[in-house]
Amino acid sequence: CQLLPSPCRWGILFSHPRDFTPVCTTELGRAAKLAPEFSKRNVKMIALSIDSVQDHLSWCKDINAYNGEQPAEKLPFPIIADKNRELAVKLGMLDPDELDKDGMPLTARVVFVFGPDKKLKLSILYPATTGRNFDEILRVVDSLQLTAYKKVATPVDWKPGDSVMVVPTLPDEEAKKLFPKGIFTKELPSGKKYLRYTPQPE
């Protein structure tokens, strides 16, 4: 995958069923609004659709207008024109339940997140009828980047700035050295000390 040209860059590839459709327009509008936030995190975004380049350019005007901006033929990220579905087939992005007028399957709402090592770090599949939450995708990127470089995991409903969990494989003594802000453990009926928390490391 050539999404990640620089050694420290992350990448997101996300597909959508069709241009000029209601849910997809709202999704790409939100993705465009959040593009500066993804850029701050050194994440390159790229979309994919089975429509043509000309359709993409025309649809960009609608997406920008939906966002209350000038109807330009450009978004902060490119859209791959996969008109023959070649890439969608290779990547398993087709939705067998959603067909076009010719009976061909449309692309599903897939999200792939790639790390700087060009390996897949996250895969999410939404049905065509359910719009994605790009704020959640941004939160997941924050978790992936934090946990890639620190020996922590993020608990349920974690948000940037919340406490994180020390990974189970890290011995207590080493954890105390790595996390000078301290470690606290939740007491459990089993008596096992496996819920170890620490303030989010810098």
24 catalytic per annotation: yes
Q: Can you tell me the distance from the alpha carbon of 63 to that of 69, in angstroms, rounded to the nearest whole number?
A: 9
Alpha helix stretches (DSSP H) within the chain? 22-40, 53-66, 86-90, 134-149, 172-178
Q: Can you tell me the distance from the alpha carbon of 149 to that of 67, in angstroms, rounded to the nearest whole number?
A: 35
Longest pairwise C-alpha distance within the chain:
63
Nearest by Cα to 201 from 168, 159, 152, 143: 152
Out of 1, 8, 24, 60, the active site residue is 24
H/E segment holding residue 49: strand 43-49
**Catalytic annotation, residues:** 24
